[in-house]
A and B are shown apart, each in its own frame.
Chain A
Amino acid sequence: MSIVIDRRLNDRNKSAANRARFIRRYKEQIKRAVSDIVARRGITDMEKGGEVSIPTRDIKEPSFRHGPGGDHEYVHPGNHSFNKGDRIPRPKSQGGGGGGSGEGDGEGSQDDFTFSLSREEFMNLFFDDLELPHLVRNFVTEIKDFKMQRAGYTPSGVPANLSVPRSLRNAMARRVALSAPLHREIAALEAAEAKEDDLVVRAGIETEIAALKSRIARVPFLDEIDLRFRHRVKVPQPISRAVMFCLMDVSASMTEEKKDLAKRFFTLLYLFLSRKYEKVEIVFIRHTDNAEEVDEQRFFHDAQSGGTVVQSALKLMNEIVTERYPPAGYNIYGAQVSDGDAFGADPEKSRALLADQILPLCRYYAYIEVPDDADHTSPLSYAYARIESPRFAMKSVTSRGDVYPVLRELFKKEANI
């Protein structure tokens, strides 16, 4: 006799460990693909899985095989016009004639091995680049704050959550439902008794009625199935709303790599804020010698040329705050990226504007500098270095791993990490 077993309830993720091994082994290639996605995606869309592809030849498992060349005969089906001795020009792609082995249209024809990364895998690779500590990773990937919220009733729970009115209402319904047919029978019997004259029969009916009444009495007042408990569920609870200002110098000296660093910096801050606040708005301000508010696409990808006046961007930010984001209603964060070039009185004026007017409005303001030459102190960082405020952080960044430390104070303070 055959045995039939239901395995559907077994673990469905047997291959997860092997999948993780594959991703670990080809991390370098996959990271490169992830970087491409980061460059393509908007800051607010960053938090999704993604499709990556890596070259097939990189992941090929070698074995001894025959190479092209040599002599062989292949047998194929479906001849309709060939005769013995016919000559056919050799097909261009080698191995096309070798379809018989099945290799021809298998792996060989695909140049790339494409597959999807889950959201977690994607974010982890993104964070790996930024050398994000694990505690911080947990904070920005998980939602930690929850509020308990009423969500109807359940048939099971702890006594403290027992809902007395609900339970009694159920009990009453059950009692009515269970005893109604008995009551009906009693009524019928009583009617019959009233019409009956024979005492013996009446006595019989009365015992029947008595039996029915005792059955009614045995319907319990409160049964376990009547009990209802107040049900509560956890819902994620971000605190309130925030606005994040992204300021970037887009003069010609800002190369693509520098912009890529900037984007990662803004993304990280955004992820952090979106965990903390229910609603995060982003304002993109780019500046050369004058500043303007733009959308994300133009912010990162429009080439601009011209001089550099940092102060213009700070002024614009100040104006936008006054106009649209009253500090009473918003938590304001600023993030500024520049290569540090500033001329004349600009750095000094910018420092004054930032320290005296903007910082008091902000919860946090971070500045990263992406210099051409790491050893050289730029005019702007020289000026900014004299700002002393717990709400201000600045750092010179040359690689992706440097991005996180500039936000470290912020994470430490506001995420209790």
Chain B
Amino acid sequence: MSADGGPRYLSTGAEWSFDLIARYDAAIKDIAHNEFKLDTYPNQIEIIASEQMLDAYASVGLPIGYPHWSYGKEFIRNEDAYRKGARGLAYEIVINSNPCISYLMEENTMAMQALVIAHACYGHNSFFKGNYLFRQWTNADSIIDYMVFARRYVLECEERHGAQAVEETLDSCHALMSHGIDRYRQPPQLSAEEEQNRVREREEYNWKRFDDIWRTVPQKRKGERRGGEAQYPAEPQENLLYFVEKHSPKLEPWQRELVRITRKMAQYFYPQGQTKVMNEGWATFWHYTLLNRLFDKGLVDAGFMLECLQSHTNVVTQRGFDQRGYGGVNPYALGFAMMTDLRRICENPTDEDREWFPDIAGGDWQKVLDFAMRNYKDESFIAQYLSPRLIREFHLFAVADHETDDHLTVDSIHNEQGYRRLRRLFASQYNRDFSVPDIQVTRYDRRGDRSLTVQHRRHRNRPLAAEAEEVLRHLSRLWGFTVRLETCDDTGKAVGVRDFRAG
């Protein structure tokens, strides 16, 4: 209820209408932009039905994608779980594009729609626009165009080369998607149009270069080798798909293009995997803050607030490791707690905070949060900002699982001696190496048998899962020749070599 007279509720009750959505959006936008200075892409809010939400799930959150059976599998899995009531649907899906597209479900009540607008259209949206990983690795202006191009290209390939051949190539690419990512170099970004021109040029070049005379050149005898060549590539390459696209001796031009498409998609999703905690935490913090502000301004009633808070509480629940339904640390819970804690450290710092965070304790919380959002990813965010207070609140503890020990050992707990080590271990859990093995191309035998050597550097002695053999066969299928896997330990000492051939 506002101080200056009676309530001026935007609406009461659960019903929503397009007019109401626009009015809520305007009210939230006013608070987000003018009071809290959130910088966002323009919003495009789309209302969809639940079946369409299932479709959106299956296409990995993009409004358009190329056809592939794995998306069908994903769809069937979700559809069945949903129909049996095993799983509810997300209230919203938001796409990192410009304008930022958010899907709202038709079944949501007005309060839920408002929550989702605050969460997605202003929370996630400003994160997409501000965070350095997204700025560096994704191009929000062109992603939709690029996917339109990709879809058309894949369909064209299916027509020309057969669905089977396209599917095989895509299967192999999908298996390698986690290793189709650049982490350190910024590739030049092409618009969909340039992309298409490039495809055409590549094909024209091949036509022009075609010369029947090459057939008549005598073949080199087997085993003959030209003078020794320095190791190629000179430096190990971590982007396997990029290396395949550029150097595979056998791939057809259209296959190279498919490799490129999957590589681009992997790269587009790379920042999302690296910022799950921050992104969700940021969006949750802002829907909580924005909706509370709506309530303070007397624009919504208590019933609205109760419904939002109930949903909010569900989202930020963190179960203990021994409770039913525990599935690891909930990124919403952790992210929201950290963002809220940062604000608290700025507004009401304790002595402990002054000792741990001397540069931000008592500072301007909006600036501090904005800085954190722009310049960190999960790993560094936790390493920098996880406070002892939160470690205590979450009752965090680290368990060491070492191969040589038949027991697990509690490494550290939430006490004075444990804070720093816990925080370091916890942060490293969000390091990509923790979940994705380090596999790099070390040698391409250009003058010899054309084999490709990839090196797996064991991260703290962790072996590859058995399915890696299949992935290596996929790699060999793309490469066209033998793929050699070299395994070495943390120090770089080789411990094993195996060859793989597709088929």
Contacts and interface: CB of A to CB of B under 8 A. Distances in A.
- What 8 pairs between A and B have smallest CB-CB spacing? A78-B320, A70-B462, A22-B72, A18-B72, A67-B465, A2-B43, A79-B397, A76-B321
Interface centre among A5, A76, A82, A98 (most CB of B within 10 A): A76
A80 interface: yes
A115 to B, nearest CB: 5
Contacts of B176: 63
B389 interface: no
B95 interface: no
* Interface hub of A5, A61, A113 (most chain B Cβ within 10 A): A61
Contact of B410 (A17, A65, A70, A83): A83
Contacts of B426: 75
A407 to B, nearest CB: 33
Interface in B461-486: 461-468, 470-471, 474
A68 B51 CA distance: 38
Contacts of A102: 327-328
Interface in B46-76: 46-49, 51-52, 54-55, 58-59, 67-73, 75-76
Interface residues of B, number: 100
A70 B395 contact: no
A218 interface: no
Interface in B81-135: 83, 99, 103, 106, 121
B14 interface: no
Given A65-B465, A71-B401, A71-B403, A2 B70 contact: no
B437 A66 contact: yes
10 contacts: A3-B99, A5-B45, A25-B69, A66-B462, A74-B399, A74-B429, A75-B398, A77-B320, A77-B321, A82-B397
Nearest to A65: B465
Interface stretch (B139-147, B361-369, B414-422): B414-422
Contacts of B26: 1-2
Interface of B: 18, 21-22, 25-26, 29, 42-49, 51-52, 54-55, 58-59, 67-73, 75-77, 79-80, 83, 99, 103, 106, 121, 167, 171, 174-179, 318-323, 326-329, 394-403, 406-415, 417-418, 422, 425-426, 429, 434-437, 439, 458-468, 470-471, 474
Contacts of A75: 329, 396-399, 422, 425-426, 429
A67 B412 CA distance: 25
B46 A5 contact: yes
Interface stretch (A8-16, A154-162, A279-287, A288-296): A8-16
A19 interface: yes
Contact of A64 (B72, B121, B439): B439
B403 A69 contact: yes
Contact of B470 (A23, A62, A68, A90): A62
A21 B67 contact: yes
Nearest to B472: A64
A95 to B, nearest CB: 10
Contact of A73 (B322, B327, B400, B471): B400
B42 A70 contact: no
Contacts of B47: 4-8
Contacts of B45: 2-5
Interface in A95-121: 97-102, 104-105, 113-116
A2 B22 contact: yes
Nearest to A107: B77
Contact of B425 (A13, A73, A114): A73
A1 B176 CA distance: 41
Nearest to A59: B73
Contact of A78 (B68, B322, B435): B322
Among A60, A74, A75: residue with most chain B CB under 10 A? A75
Contacts of A4: 18, 21-22, 25, 45-47
Contact of A90 (B54, B67, B406, B413): B406
A89 interface: yes
Given A66-B463, A73-B400, A5 B44 contact: yes
Contacts of B403: 69-71
A86 interface: yes
Scoring A8, A18, A101 by chain B CB atoms within 10 A of each residue's CB, the highest score goes to A18
Contacts of B411: 73, 84
A30 to B, nearest CB: 11
Nearest to A14: B55
A71 B462 contact: yes
Contacts of A25: 69, 167
B49 A8 contact: yes
Contacts of B54: 15
A70 B52 contact: no
B449 to A, nearest CB: 24
Given A4-B21, A63-B175, A99-B326, A69 B462 contact: yes
A105 B327 contact: yes
Q: Which of B323, B401, B410, B436 has the most C-beta atoms of chain A within 10 angstroms of its own C-beta? A: B401
A17 B65 CA distance: 12
Contacts of B25: 2, 4
B46 A78 contact: no
Given A14-B52, A79-B397, A101-B434, 6 more contacts: A22-B76, A63-B471, A71-B400, A72-B462, A73-B411, A77-B329
Contacts of A194: none
A12 B50 CA distance: 9
Given A69-B461, A75-B329, A19 B410 contact: no
B408 A82 contact: no
A88 interface: yes
Nearest to A5: B46
Nearest to A105: B327
A73 B399 contact: yes
Contacts of A344: none
Contacts of A113: 73, 77
A1 B52 CA distance: 25
A184 interface: no
A345 interface: no
Contacts of B77: 113, 115
A191 interface: no
A105 B324 CA distance: 11
Contacts of B21: 4
A87 interface: yes
B489 to A, nearest CB: 10
Contacts of A90: 401, 406-408
A61 B70 contact: yes
A64 B437 contact: yes
A362 to B, nearest CB: 45
Contacts of A165: none
